[in-house]
Amino acid sequence: MFILDPMSNTTEPHICENCSNQFNDAFCNHCGQKRAHRITMPHIFHEVAHAFTHADKGFLHLLLRLFVKPGIVAREYILEKKRKRYFNPFQYILIIGSIAAFVAINSHFAETTMEVMGPGGTPSKRILDFQHGISKIMTKYYNFVVLLQLPFFALGSFLMFRKYKFNYAEHLTLHTFITAQATLLGMGTMLLIGWSGKPGVYFGFVVGLLSMAYQVFAFTQFFQDGSLKGVLKGIAANILGYLLFMAFVLVILIIVSIVVIKFG
């Protein structure tokens, strides 16, 4: 049942539609749901605008803050427990990853990169089919690949910054912020590739360096250590995370290759 005119008095007793609790204020004191009113088009426009632009926890607010203060944002969210202030980082990376998947499909990033990185000479049809299959998977599930990186980069920083006593889940949350923003840099590269029509491996190398620099910048803020030692540990954490991820990918590719060769 939809009730409550927006102009009505919110101090009157009200039964929460979500949990049936009686309350007097604008929000239910049991489940937190706001007093409900009928869904209309103005309501939808308001909710969409509110989700993306709200000064405290909007999508755009988090996006802009992560460009200049990524480590501080993560520190406030993780260590200082100021969770209400920011858009949920896991929802944020899902949105960014979905947009990136759309860009990857339309920029043909994976296809051009595989062509440059493929074996020299004239590859066999089986190898070409395998390359095509890998590029298709990378493109179609790009958002999944972005999420798949998280545990490995989190493990890298967890091992390199052990003395700070953050648990693995906290490192995972830190990298959710960082990886989402690094993915935005990757989207810029893919758009450039789609516009220029040139292979993406060289652009990818530049973006890899930018992503590393951004991650180290976030580490110096999050761990509050901008010393040379802190920067070097940040670089080492990034490289370790990347190597762990690539080792995992290599194992998967070897397994898939064996299956293709044996049963293909």
In this structure, is residue 9 part of a structural domain?
A: no
Quick check: 180 and 66 in contact, CB under 8 A?
Answer: yes
How many domains, the chain? 1
Q: What is the pTM of this model?
A: 0.74
The encoded tokens of residue 258 equal 């064996």
**Of 29, 30, 40, which is closest to residue 6 (Cα–Cα)?**
40
Domain assignment present for residue 49? The answer is no
> In b/e form, how buried is each residue of 147-179, taking b as 16+ CB within 10 angstroms?
eebbbbbbbbbbebbeeeebeeebbbbbbbbbb
Answer yes or no: is 18 within a domain.
no
Instruction: Identify which of 79, 62, 240, 57 has the alpha carbon closest to the alpha carbon of residue 170.
Output: 79
Is residue 41 assigned to a domain? Answer: no
Q: Is residue 36 part of a domain?
A: no
Domain extent, residue 86, equals: 56-263
Beta bridge partners of 14: 23
In a domain, 79, yes or no: yes
Separation between Cα atoms, residue 21 and residue 23, nearest integer Å: 6
Residue 226 tokens read as 């901008």
pLDDT tens, position by position, 126-164: 655 655 666 666 667 778 888 899 999 999 999 999 999
pLDDT digits (tens, 9 = 90+) for 175-212: 999 999 988 877 877 777 666 665 555 666 777 788 89
Inside any domain, residue 21: no
Say if 37 falls within a structural domain.
no
Contact 141, 98 (CB under 8 A): no
pLDDT 10s digits, 49-99? 766 666 566 888 899 999 999 999 999 999 999 988 888 899 999 999 888
